[in-house]
A and B are shown apart, each in its own frame.
Chain A
Amino acid sequence: MKRIVSLLLIILTLLTLSSCHGAREKKVFEIPESFDEDKQYEISIWAKNDTNVTQVNIYKDAIADFEALYPNIKVNLRLYTDYGKIYNDVITNISTDTTPNVCITYPDHIATYLTGKDTVVPLDELFHNEKYGLGGSELKFESPSFDELIPQFIGECEFNGHYYAVPYMRSTEACYVNKTYVEKLGYTLPETLTWDFVWEVSEAATAKNSDGTFKINGQKVMIPFIYKSTDNMMIQMLKQRNADYSTPLGEIKIFNDTTDEILTEIAGHIDSGAFDTFKHAGYPANFLNAGQCIFAVDSTAGATWMGSDAPLVDIDEDKLVDFETEVMTVPQYDPENPVMISQGPSMCVFNKSDSDEVLASWLFCQFMLTNEVQIAYSQTEGYCPVTLKAQQSAEYTDYLSRAGEDNDMYYDIKLKATRLLLDNTDNTFVTPVFNGSASLRNAAGQLIENVNKTVRRKETFDDKYLDELEAEMISLYRLDQITTSQGKVTLGALPTGSVILLSCIVICWIGIVAYVIREKIKAKSVK
């Protein structure tokens, strides 16, 4: 009887351990030998568009074309116009295991998704799978090979030793310049914009008439320099000055003397009325097109909103001002060595318990890399296709050569913005990706936003303020809680619950081993 009880205890212990081990863990994805086309799949993609119905239609067309090739896969599209909302929704859905199959996202965000175990599928093996990988033999469409992905762009999707995303589109920032006003102020645009030049012209543009209107435009409003994305602004300024931001492993380095210098410089131009931000004032394009802004920095993916003849406009026609628009790289500290951020959507695949479903998701992801989708989507804005196959195609080359033929498909500002990225791909960079890098990015922008508010509210701006601002950012974005990684995601010290669990497992095993040994000794002594 004692033996039976002991045996039962051992079995129970083993069952307990095995069940605990598997608790809430998702099956690690393994590529199926073959894709089961007799099975029905329903997958979802959460996609972002730039408030651009043409982009929405391209997603829909791509889905329809894909479903025609794979009638057993139904793709449900959920639309967003904001990466942040996708990110928040994904985070919420990770805990309930209701993530989409595919989502448009940024590597910074994926780094956070990855803290859920086996949440995002590493794509390394899928990329190179002979049948279903990039350029695979069993695909029903012409997919690019791995080597046909632009190296910089696919490189941005590799972190923690794996590829967790595939690029979808790429853009950078551009400075859309009212050249007419620059020249009216007596300046000539340099080949490459510098910060000194932009600040000098912006200051000159703040001059007013006696009636309070601005001399340059005769209007009551003139914000010479508006920046859309202040996180990009800070990140690029630091990069251009070779200043620290973070280490590749996630050590926060942004709070340094150069950052303070940059903020102090910006504060001066806020105070004079030469500079403002999107968050405080509104869309740069609206001010630019109304002749109320000279330097508008926004994504190349916002090019169709820029300029007197922009195909997309948010202000009344009677407010539009006629001027010549120049598309230039963002201001530089060293114009001989221009540096600019690489941005744009990537796609990641979420793990599911059914490996066939994951494979179906991956097939759809790959479909988004075909020339048809890549070229069509890139033409909607100042985006670049992410494959050499698309960039070097006759169709795309023809598209680029037709700048200015109309104010729609061939809108010259859009094509100039696209060309800007194509010509500067080697000058682009991305920031290190780690769990918390999204928070650091937010903090980078918020530094500028807070300075903007402080100066405008006539509050004290000095060294003490900068120290307090730093502390506030660390606290708000919990930058002191980010743990550095050593090539892998680390999550800091084990929680107390985990320590108790592991200790109990060890005690169980010691008990089991001790019992077995004791029984064996006892059996031997009986013999």
Chain B
Amino acid sequence: MKKIIAMLMVAAMVFVFAACATTNDPEVKETVNNDVADTEDVADTEEVADDTADVMSYDEYVAAELDSTVTVETYVQAKQGWWEKDGVGVATIYTQNEEGAYFIYEMPCSEDDYNNKLVTGAKIRVTGTKAEWSGEVEITDATYEVLEGEFIAEAKDLTDKLGTDELINYQNQLATFKGMTVEKIEYKNGEPGDDIYVTLGYNGASYDFCVEAYLTGADTAVYTAVGELNEGDVIDVEGFVYWYEGVNTHITAINLAA
């Protein structure tokens, strides 16, 4: 009998240990799953993209109505980030092909794809809805398919397009603006960490630029370099021609002008 009791107790303890080992704050974990995280639910969007959809040229894309479905083949140039929205992983990326550029906002994608497939230069076919938010034309609610091919855009010098109606034709493209004079550097929260608002002057006019913290955060060289600029410095700027109530280029690199 003693042996049986002893065995019973030992067995019970083993179960207790096992149960304790697997108890890892289950309440909080459940809540996290419930409200913000469940990347397992992210569909393999590579299979979702419609292979039969007609791929548009950039001109066709520009001509397409807002809120209509668009399909483009484009190449990843830079990424703002991957995060979870309503429990679904989404990515916001800057893309461009030989004709023009496409900003893709909160496209459902797994974290693994984001890190390993949607790399700079990767070719993707994207189907989504053409939308406009505060002047920025973008593709939303998108699905994608990774294709064979690579293209990395070279920055186009658009200095002479500043202040012209032509500039919007280059929306979202990688561009350079040369000989810009620093007028104002302002941290969004008054201190480093979040976006930096940059006002640069050229030919007597002022233009808004931004160090977008999602794209180039406080740990990047460009963030630091912009933070150290002084009023009156003359610089060459490289970045994506983003739009927010007018042109608001997202800076990716700066150089003090020679």
A residues contacting B by CB (< 8 A) are: 2, 5-6, 9, 12-13, 16-17, 19-20, 23-24, 49, 51, 53, 56-57, 79, 81, 87-88, 91-92, 94-95, 112, 115-117, 119, 280-283, 286, 314-316, 319, 435-436, 438-439, 442, 446, 453, 456-458, 476-478, 481, 491, 495, 497-498, 500-501, 503-505, 507-508, 511-512, 514-515, 518
Contact = CB atoms under 8 A, between A and B. Distances in A.
Interface of B: 1-2, 5-6, 8-10, 12-13, 15-20, 22-32, 34-36, 66-69, 84, 86-87, 129, 131-135, 141, 188-191, 193-194, 244-246
B17 to A, nearest CB: 7
B252 to A, nearest CB: 22
A12 B13 contact: yes
Contact of B16 (A79, A119, A446, A501): A501
A491 B1 CA distance: 41
B27 A9 contact: no
A504 B19 CA distance: 9
A13 B13 contact: yes
22 contacts: A2-B2, A9-B9, A16-B16, A57-B190, A95-B28, A115-B31, A117-B27, A281-B133, A283-B134, A286-B245, A319-B245, A439-B35, A453-B129, A458-B67, A476-B87, A481-B34, A491-B30, A498-B19, A501-B20, A503-B15, A504-B15, A505-B12
Contact of B9 (A19, A94, A438, A512): A512
Contacts of B18: 500
B35 A505 contact: no
A16 B13 contact: yes
Given A20-B20, A51-B188, A286-B245, A79 B28 contact: no
Contacts of A88: 36, 84
Main SS of chain A's interface residues? Answer: helix
Contacts of A16: 13, 16-17
A315 B243 CA distance: 12
Given A57-B190, A453-B141, A500 B9 contact: no
Contact of B189 (A81, A112, A498): A81
A115 B27 CA distance: 6
B133 A282 contact: yes
A438 B134 CA distance: 27
Nearest to B136: A282
A146 B194 CA distance: 37
Interface pairs A-B: 5 shortest CB-CB: A501-B19, A282-B134, A116-B28, A456-B67, A504-B15
B26 to A, nearest CB: 6
A497 B22 contact: yes
A21 to B, nearest CB: 10
B21 to A, nearest CB: 9
Contacts, number: 154
A511 B4 CA distance: 10
Contacts of A91: 28, 31-32, 35-36
A457 B129 contact: yes
A76 to B, nearest CB: 12
Contacts of A495: 26
B133 A438 contact: no
Nearest to A283: B134
A89 to B, nearest CB: 10
Given A17-B16, A56-B189, A314-B245, A439 B34 contact: yes
Contact of A497 (B23, B132, B134): B23
A88 B85 CA distance: 10
A315 B134 CA distance: 10
A500 B22 CA distance: 11
Contacts of A508: 9, 12-13, 16
A478 B87 CA distance: 10
B209 to A, nearest CB: 15
A13 B9 contact: yes
Nearest to B84: A88
Contacts of B189: 49, 51, 53, 56, 79, 81
Nearest to A457: B67
Given A281-B133, A500-B19, A81 B26 contact: no
Given A116-B27, A500-B15, A512-B9, 16 more contacts: A9-B9, A79-B189, A79-B191, A87-B36, A91-B35, A95-B28, A112-B31, A112-B35, A117-B25, A442-B86, A453-B67, A453-B129, A457-B67, A481-B34, A497-B23, A508-B16
Nearest to A436: B34
B16 A497 contact: no
A305 to B, nearest CB: 12
A365 to B, nearest CB: 21
B81 to A, nearest CB: 12
Given A51-B188, A57-B190, A511 B15 contact: no
Given A281-B133, A316-B246, A511-B5, A56 B19 contact: no
Nearest to A494: B26
Most central of A9, A316, A495, A504 by chain B CB within 10 Å: A504
A117 B244 CA distance: 44
Given A79-B189, A95-B32, A315-B245, A9 B25 contact: no
A294 to B, nearest CB: 19
Nearest to B18: A500
